Amino acid sequence: MCGLPEAERGFSRVDAVAMYSGALRDKIHKLKHEGRAGWAMVFGRLLVGWMESHPEVMRGVDYVAGNPTHSDRQPIQHIEAIMDAAYTEDVTRAFPLSPPGGHRLVKSVETARSASRTLEEKRAAAAAHAAALTWTGDPRDIKSATILLVDDVFTSGSQLQHVARRLRATGAADVRGLVLARVPWGG
């Protein structure tokens, strides 16, 4: 997928804070699947720390938006919790994060999950996920904007690819990705 032209990928780059392994994998799982909300603050701080240490990537970013989960997601809307925590951690308001509860990108309906699926099933789930998203701000805000799209784990890249394509089709000039963890290639 990384060999695809940017227009087909949808995003111009995807960065990862760390590899998806060991303790980090376990803590992401505790937040995402067990609802251990305290980890959201840690992950929010990690995201802000990454943004602080990568000013060249953050230059020109108009919005930092989480790749949303559906409002009925159980046990927790993990991405929203992480993004709320990142806003809290960004005490100087150095980054264009939305305040808690004011997320720019929301998921209106539940869609099939992609975990433990074949690549084709992941792609179909990713397309359905992207189709269920809504930009909550003024539609003119997204025109020519640069968006940093945040997610927890990068496995195949299908979901970020589909969401980035949707944002670009809506008018975003550039979509960059930032994930907490990237699954090791071949793993």
* Inside any domain, residue 2: no
Residue 154 has pLDDT above 50, yes or no: yes
* Inside any domain, residue 99: yes
The percent of residues above 70 in pLDDT, for the chain, comes to 94
Is residue 179 within 8 A of residue 15, CB to CB? The reply is: yes
Task: Read off the pLDDT band of 7 (50, 70, 90).
Answer: low
- Among candidate residues 132, 47, 23, 40, the one with its CA nearest the CA of residue 78: 40
> What pairing do the DSSP bridges indicate for beta strands 13-19 and 174-182?
parallel
84-132 tens-digit pLDDT: 999 999 999 999 999 999 999 999 899 988 777 888 898 999 999 999 9
CA distance to 117, 139, 161, 182, per residue, from 152 (Å)? 18, 26, 14, 9
161-181 tens-digit pLDDT: 999 999 999 999 999 999 999
Is residue 186 within 8 A of residue 20, CB to CB? The reply is: no
* Inside any domain, residue 108: yes
CA distance to 1, 18, 66, per residue, from 156 (Å)? 8, 16, 18
What does pLDDT average to over the chain? Answer: 91
* Inside any domain, residue 4: no
Give the CATH number, domain containing residue 32.
3.40.50
Structurally, the chain folds into a number of domains equal to 1
Quote the pTM value.
0.91
pLDDT the model gives residue 6:
60
* Inside any domain, residue 1: no
Task: Residue 53: give the domain boundaries.
Answer: 10-182
Radius of gyration over every alpha carbon of the chain, rounded to an integer in angstroms: 15
Residue 68 has pLDDT above 80, yes or no: yes
